[in-house]
C-alpha cells in the first residue's frame, strides 16, 4: 500500500505487546502530537499481521516518538512513586487528574471506583507478583533513556520487540579520570504483555529472580513504553453485570486481550470503536467488519494464588470467522517463510 510505513518489528511473533505498541504509537501521534491525519492498517491481518502507519514518514515517526518517550514519563511522578495504584482515594484521583493531562488520560483505564469504596484495577496490570507496575514502568523508562532511544525505536519498530537470552542493552559512563568510558549492561522491569514473560516460570526455575536477568527473554524497554501508550484505549466502564474494559473479554475473571487488526486504514477514533465492540464480536461474528481480523490473547496466572505465576498474556490467535477468514486483504498474502 503506497505511503505506508510498515512496522516489520511489530509482527505476529511479538503479539500481543507488538500490537499494543502499534496502537500506542498511533495514539501518541494523534492525541499528543496532533497528527490527526495518521491512520493504522495491518498487512495480511488474518494470517500474519504486520501493522503500518499511513500519513507519517519514517524519519518523522522516529523523531516524534523519541521526543515524546524521552520527555514524558509513563505516569506523573506522584503516581510512579506509589506502591499500589489501587490505594488511591477518589479525592486523590481527582486532584492528580486535574494537575496532569497524562494522568487524566490514563486513570480511567487503570482504575474504576466501585460503589461502597475500593477500585477495580485494569486487567492490563500483569505485574502482581514479583514487581509493581509502577516500578516496572519507571525502570523501563529510565533504561530507554540511558541507551540510544532512536536506535531502540528503530530496533523495536523494524526488527523485533524481544531481546533474547544473552542479548544485552548497554550504556556508557565516563570513568572518574574522564579519559576513558566504561560500558555496563542495563536492566529494566519485566511486564507480562508477552508469553516470554511466562517461560521463566514454565520452563525454568519457579522463582524468576533466581535466573540471571540476561538469561531471560525480555520485552525491549522501548516496546514496553510504546505498548503502555495504548492503555488509555482500554478504558474501564460500569456495566449491568459488573465492570468491563474496552478490548477485554473477561469471563469468570479469566480475561483475554482482544486485538483488532484492520485490513484498511483506520483513524484512532475508529480503532477505539473497534476495541469497544470487540467483546461483542465473540458473541456474533456477523456483526464484525469482515475487513478487520480479531486476535485473542488469553491471560494466564492468578494474582492471588501463590502456586500459580503472576498474570501474563499468552500467544495471540485469530478468532475463528466465517468464509471471510481466508479473504485477500490489502498488501496481498504473505506466509511466514
Residue 129 confidence (pLDDT): 54
pLDDT in the model for residue 300: 85
pLDDT digits (tens, 9 = 90+) for 253-281: 788 999 999 999 999 999 999 999 998 88
329 vs 152: which has the higher pLDDT: 152
- DSSP assignments along 236-298, one per residue: EEEETTEEEETTEE-GGG--EEEEEEESS-B-HHHHHHHHHHHHHHHH-GGGS-TTEEEEEEE
C-alpha to C-alpha distance for 318 and 335, rounded to whole angstroms:
15
| Angle at 139 (CA atoms; ends 179, 237), nearest 5 degrees | 155
C-alpha cell at 49: 499481521
Percent of the residues in the chain that have a pLDDT greater than 70, as a whole number: 84
11 Cβ contact list (under 8 Å, min separation 6): 18, 48, 49, 50
Model confidence pLDDT, tens digit, residues 95-122: 988 988 899 999 999 999 888 778 888 9
Say yes or no to pLDDT of 232 above 80.
Answer: yes
CA distance 216 to 209: 10
1 DSSP assignment: -
First to last CA, the chain: 21
Nearest by Cα to 11 from 326, 264, 277, 259: 259
Residues 276-293: tens digit of each pLDDT: 999 888 888 788 999 999
Helices in the chain by DSSP H: which ranges?
Answer: 17-27, 58-71, 77-80, 90-99, 101-110, 133-146, 149-158, 196-202, 221-228, 268-283
- State residue 177's pLDDT score: 59
Torsions phi, psi for 55 (to 5 deg)? 105, 10
- Its pTM stands at 0.89
Residues 282, 249 contacting (CB under 8 angstroms)? yes
Phi/psi region, residue 61 (left: phi>0; alpha: psi -120 to 50; beta: rest), is alpha
Distance between CA atoms of residues 229 and 294, nearest Å: 20
Nearest by Cα to 122 from 136, 108, 132, 135: 108
Location of C-alpha cell 499500589: 84
Q: Are 52 and 23 within 8 A, CB to CB?
A: no
CB 130 within 8 A of CB 309: no
**Which backbone phi and psi does 45 adopt, to 5 degrees?**
-65, -25
Contact yes or no for 289/321 (Cβ under 8 A): no
Instruction: State the pLDDT confidence band at 213, using cuts at 50, 70 and 90.
Output: confident
Amino acid at each position: 500500500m503506497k505511503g505506508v510505513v510498515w512496522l516489520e518489528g511489530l509482527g505476529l511473533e511479538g503479539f500481543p505487546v507488538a500490537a499494543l505498541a502499534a496502537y500506542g504509537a498511533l495514539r501518541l501521534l494523534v492525541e499528543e502530537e496532533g497528527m490527526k491525519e495518521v491512520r493504522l492498517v495491518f498487512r495480511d491481518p488474518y494470517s500474519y499481521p504486520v501493522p503500518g502507519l499511513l500519513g507519517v514518514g519514517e524519519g518523522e515517526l522516529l523523531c516524534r516518538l523519541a521526543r515524546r518517550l524521552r520527555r514524558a514519563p509513563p505516569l506523573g511522578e506522584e503516581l510512579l512513586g506509589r506502591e499500589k495504584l489501587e490505594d488511591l482515594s477518589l479525592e486523590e484521583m481527582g486532584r492528580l487528574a486535574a494537575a496532569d493531562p497524562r494522568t487524566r488520560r490514563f486513570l480511567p483505564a487503570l482504575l474504576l471506583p466501585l460503589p461502597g469504596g475500593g477500585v477495580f484495577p485494569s486487567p492490563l496490570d500483569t505485574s502482581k507478583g514479583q514487581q509493581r507496575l509502577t516500578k516496572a514502568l519507571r525502570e523501563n523508562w529510565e533504561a530507554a533513556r540511558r541507551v540510544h532511544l532512536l536506535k531502540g525505536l528503530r530496533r523495536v519498530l523494524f526488527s523485533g520487540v524481544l531481546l533474547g537470552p544473552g542479548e544485552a542493552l548497554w550504556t556508557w559512563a565516563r570513568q572518574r579520570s574522564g579519559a576513558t568510558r566504561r560500558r555496563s549492561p542495563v536492566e529494566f522491569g519485566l511486564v507480562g504483555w508477552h508469553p516470554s514473560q511466562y517461560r521463566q516460570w514454565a520452563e525454568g526455575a519457579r522463582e524468576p529472580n533466581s535466573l540471571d536477568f540476561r538469561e531471560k527473554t525480555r520485552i525491549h524497554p522501548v516496546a514496553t513504553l510504546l505498548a503502555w501508550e495504548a492503555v488509555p484505549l482500554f478504558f474501564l466502564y460500569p456495566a449491568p453485570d459488573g465492570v468491563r474494559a474496552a478490548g477485554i473479554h473477561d469471563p469468570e475473571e479469566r480475561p483475554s486481550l482482544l486485538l483488532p487488526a484492520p485490513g484498511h486504514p483506520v483513524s484512532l477514533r475508529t480503532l477505539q470503536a473497534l476495541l469497544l465492540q470487540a467483546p461483542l464480536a465473540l458473541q456474533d461474528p456477523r456483526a464484525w467488519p469482515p475487513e478487520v481480523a480479531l486476535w485473542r490473547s488469553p491471560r494466564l496466572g492468578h494474582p492471588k494464588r501463590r502456586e500459580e505465576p503472576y498474570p501474563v498474556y499468552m500467544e495471540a490467535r485469530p478468532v475463528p470467522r466465517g468464509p471471510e477468514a481466508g479473504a485477500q486483504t490489502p498488501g496481498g498474502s504473505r506466509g511466514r517463510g
